[in-house]
Each structure stands twice: as structure tokens, then as C-alpha cells.
């Protein structure tokens, strides 16, 4: 079976979660959306984190592993989120547990294959995801689960960047800085889960240290001076590190969840994670689907809209402006739609 035929349905499941999740997010901001999106407003985080991001990352890991059982996680995670939208909680919990367990096994196998620090950082991300799923499925509350899911993203992305940073041959002190920052962040996540640090300050301090490490030691500092796709990816990365630092500062400031929750979470999930998706999609999708996807400078348009809308949203939170928050959220949705259209149009042009 051709890779496109086998893997496209898995991406389609993730895309369905994305559409419903974005609609649910708009509903939470007060925008008029179809009933199927409005009814899922309470599941916005689950749809985006488990259903979309989880599915896409699990699919990427499965392709890298090259084993049939690696493909258990992507459909299971998407189906978990979709089952939750239908109120089928036993099925949602079962699918989520199966998907998280499969992703963890894949990550551990790959860590043993890599025999390097970055492999275990990636495995730590998968473990964090599994713990978050367990907390969510058990009804322990969404904030502790989200803290674990943030660790999933941070460790996954920083682990991949740590792997690429090896070409620069970082000194032992540089690696020690990374380990210390990652350890502080992990301790912060554990403190949130245990209720020791309800204001997320330790977690935030770890995020700031990791953001500075990435900004200083990532190879993106060099590749941003190159051209075309290489430079575009570097811009996505460096912009993402800025927002990661913003998220960390918001949490570390001790403002508390009431004021910092929306701004900090979206600084990390939109500014950091989604910016990484925008940057790596031109590489990941061709590798996953075996399709040609040449670079186009039009990719900068949705990227600029994404970060401008996030700046508006964060400013709206600071100014307590519901309108600015709402328009910022609408800008996120427009940026995602524009990115998909740009990618699809570019793929169609490449087939001519």
C-alpha cells in the first residue's frame, strides 16, 4: 500500500479534531459557530492537544520508527478526542490510554536506539503525555493534565532540537545547562500535579531557562542567515522561542492562573507549538505522505498572521479587553486556515 493511501486517513482524523477544536475555541471566545463546534467548547484543549497535536506527533514518530505497531497511537488519540465530543467517555478514556501507551512504547524504543540524551528527553515527553491522559481520564481535573501535556510539547520539541544541536558539538557546560533547565521544568510540572505549586512558578522558571538555551544554542541562529525553506524554518523556531519565554515569564511572575492562564497557555501552544508545526510541516508532510511540497515565500503570510494575532490576544489579556482576546483568537483560526490553503495550493502546483 502506498504511504499516501495508508497515512492520509490518519492525518484526516487529526484534521477533523483540528476543525472541531478551532471551532470550539472560537465558541469559548464568544464567536458564533455551528452547533457541533459550540457543543464541544468544553473540550477545546482535549481536541487540540490530544486529538490534533497528539495525532500528528504520534504519526511522525510512527513513520520514523517504521514498525506497524507504531501506527496504533495516531488513530487511537484522534478517536479518543472525537469520542469525548459525543459523550462516550468510556471509549474516550480507552482510546486515549491505548494511544498514550503506544506512543510511550515507541518513544522508549527510539530512545534505546538513539542511545543519547535527546532520545530520553523525547521519551520523557511521551511519559508526560501519558500521565496527562491518565489524569484527564480519571477526572483529576484539567489543569494538572494540561501541565503534563505542556511538558509533552516542550520535551518533544526541545529533544528534537537537542539532537540537531549536536552538529555544533556543545560543550559539557552547555549540555549541563539544558539538563538543569529541563529538570527544573519537570520538577515544576510535578509540583503542579501534586498541588505544591498552584501558581505554576517553578514550571515557568524552567520554561524561561529552556527558552534561553534554545535561543542561544539552537542551530537556528545560524540557519536563519540562509535562504528559502531553511531560513523560513529558522524564523519559525526563533519566534517560537520568544513566545516560550513569554509563557515562562507569565507563569513565573506569580500572577496566578486567573490572569496568566489564557495568555501563558496560548503563548506556549500557539506561539511556540503551532509555530513549530508551521515551520516543520513543509518537511514532515512530504516525508509522511511521500508527496512533493516545494517551498514558497507565501508561507510567511500565515506565520505573520499567527504571531500578530497572538500579540493581540496577549495584549487583550493584559488590558482586560475581551474584544482583543476574541479578535486574537479569530486571527489564530484565520492563520491556520490560510496556512492549510497555502500548503494545499503549493502541493497542487507541484503536480503540474
What pLDDT digit, counting tens, does each position of 273-330 carry?
Answer: 999 999 998 888 877 777 778 888 999 999 999 999 999 999 998 888 899 999 999 9
Note the pLDDT tens digit of each residue in 18-29. 999 999 999 999
Q: What is the mean pLDDT of the chain?
A: 92
pLDDT of residue 3: 63
Spatial CB neighbours of 270, under 8 Å, sequence gap ≥ 6: 243, 306, 310, 313, 332
Give the Cα separation of 191 and 24 in Å (integer): 30
3-state secondary structure of 253: coil
Give the Cα separation of 310 and 203 in Å (integer): 21
Give the Cα separation of 195 and 131 in Å (integer): 15
Give the Cα separation of 57 and 111 in Å (integer): 16
Query: Which triple of cell numbers denotes residue 130?
Result: 501519558
Question: Is a pLDDT exceeding 70 seen at residue 31?
Answer: yes
pLDDT: is 259 or 245 the higher one?
A: 245
Question: Is a pLDDT exceeding 80 seen at residue 46?
Answer: yes
Give the Cα separation of 66 and 125 in Å (integer): 20
Number of residues written out for the chain: 352
- Residue 141, sorted as left (phi over 0), alpha (psi -120 to 50) or beta, turns out to be left
Share of the chain above pLDDT 90, in %: 75
Distances (CA, A) of 13 to 7, 19, 81, 209: 10, 10, 10, 35
Note the pLDDT tens digit of each residue in 235-247. 999 999 999 999 9
* Cβ contact 5:288 at 8 Å: no
Q: Mean of the pLDDT values across residues 219-244?
A: 94
Confidence of residue 163 (pLDDT cuts 50, 70, 90): confident
* Cβ contact 289:8 at 8 Å: yes
Amino acid at each position: 500500500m502506498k504511504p499516501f493511501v495508508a497515512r492520509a486517513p490518519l492525518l484526516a482524523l487529526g484534521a477533523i479534531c483540528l476543525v472541531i477544536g478551532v471551532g470550539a475555541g472560537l465558541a469559548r471566545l464568544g464567536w458564533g459557530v455551528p452547533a457541533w463546534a459550540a457543543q464541544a467548547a468544553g473540550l477545546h484543549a482535549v481536541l487540540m492537544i490530544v486529538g490534533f497535536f497528539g495525532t500528528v506527533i504520534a504519526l511522525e514518530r510512527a513513520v520514523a520508527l517504521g514498525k506497524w505497531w507504531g501506527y496504533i497511537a495516531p488513530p487511537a488519540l484522534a478517536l479518543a478526542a472525537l469520542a469525548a465530543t459525543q459523550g462516550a467517555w468510556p471509549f474516550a478514556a480507552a482510546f486515549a490510554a491505548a494511544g498514550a501507551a503506544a506512543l510511550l512504547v515507541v518513544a522508549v524504543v527510539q530512545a534505546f536506539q538513539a542511545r543519547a540524551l535527546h532520545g530520553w528527553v523525547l521519551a520523557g515527553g511521551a511519559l508526560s503525555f501519558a500521565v496527562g491522559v491518565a489524569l484527564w481520564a480519571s477526572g483529576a481535573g484539567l489543569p494538572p493534565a494540561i501541565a503534563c501535556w505542556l511538558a509533552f510539547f516542550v520535551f518533544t520539541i526541545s529533544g528534537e532540537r537537542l539532537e540537531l544541536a549536536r552538529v555544533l558539538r556543545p560543550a559539557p557546560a552547555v549540555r549541563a545547562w539544558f539538563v538543569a533547565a529541563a529538570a527544573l521544568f519537570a520538577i515544576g510540572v510535578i509540583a503542579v500535579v501534586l498541588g505544591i505549586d498552584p501558581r505554576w512558578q517553578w514550571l515557568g522558571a524552567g520554561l524561561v531557562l529552556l527558552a534561553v538555551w534554545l535561543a542561544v544554542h539552537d542551530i537556528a541562529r545560524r540557519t536563519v542567515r540562509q535562504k528559502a525553506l531553511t531560513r523560513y524554518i529558522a524564523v519559525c523556531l526563533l519566534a517560537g522561542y520568544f513566545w516560550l519565554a513569554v509563557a515562562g515569564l507569565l507563569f513565573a511572575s506569580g500572577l496566578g492562573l486567573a490572569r496568566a492562564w489564557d495568555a501563558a497557555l496560548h503563548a506556549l501552544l500557539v506561539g511556540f507549538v503551532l509555530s513549530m508545526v508551521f515551520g516543520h510541516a513543509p518537511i514532515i508532510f512530504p516525508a509522511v505522505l511521500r508527496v512533493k511540497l516545494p517551498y514558497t515565500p507565501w508561507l510567511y503570510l500565515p506565520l505573520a498572521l499567527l504571531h500578530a494575532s497572538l500579540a493581540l490576544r496577549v495584549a487583550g489579556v493584559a488590558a482586560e479587553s475581551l474584544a482583543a482576546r476574541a479578535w486574537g483568537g479569530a486571527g489564530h483560526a484565520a492563520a491556520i486556515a490560510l496556512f492549510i490553503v497555502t500548503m494545499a495550493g503549493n502541493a497542487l502546483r507541484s503536480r503540474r
